[in-house]
Copies of this chain bind each other. A is one copy, B any other.
Amino acid sequence: MTIGEAARASGVSAKMIRYYEETGLIRKAERSSSGYRHYTEADIHTLRFIRRARDLGFPVEQIAELLALWQDRSRASAQVKALAMDHVAGLWKKIAELQAMARTLTALAEQCGGDGRPECPIIDDLAAIDEDGRPDPDGIGILPHHGPRLFGTP
Assembly of this chain: how many copies?
Answer: 2
In contact, A151 and B102 (Cβ under 8 angstroms):
no
Known contacts A73-B150, A88-B105, A150-B25; A45/B114 CB under 8 A = no
A144 close to B (CB within 8 Å): yes
> Can you spell out 25 A-B residue pairs with CB atoms less than 8 angstroms apart?
A23-B154, A24-B151, A25-B154, A42-B146, A43-B149, A43-B150, A45-B142, A46-B146, A48-B128, A49-B128, A52-B125, A67-B151, A72-B118, A75-B118, A75-B123, A76-B116, A76-B117, A78-B115, A80-B122, A81-B114, A81-B122, A84-B109, A91-B105, A94-B98, A98-B98
CB within 8 Å of B: which residues of A? 9, 21, 23-28, 40-46, 48-49, 52-53, 55-57, 64, 66-78, 80-82, 84-85, 87-88, 91-92, 94-95, 98-99, 101-102, 104-106, 108-109, 112-120, 122-123, 125-128, 140-154
C-alpha gap A80/B127 in the complex (Å): 13
Asked if A104 meets B56 with Cβ closer than 8 Å, knowing A46-B150, A80-B120, the reply is yes
User: What CA separation (Å) do A134 and B78 show in the bound complex?
Assistant: 23
Known: A71-B149, A76-B116. 9 other contacts (CB 8 A): A9-B140, A27-B150, A41-B140, A67-B151, A71-B146, A73-B148, A73-B150, A91-B99, A91-B102
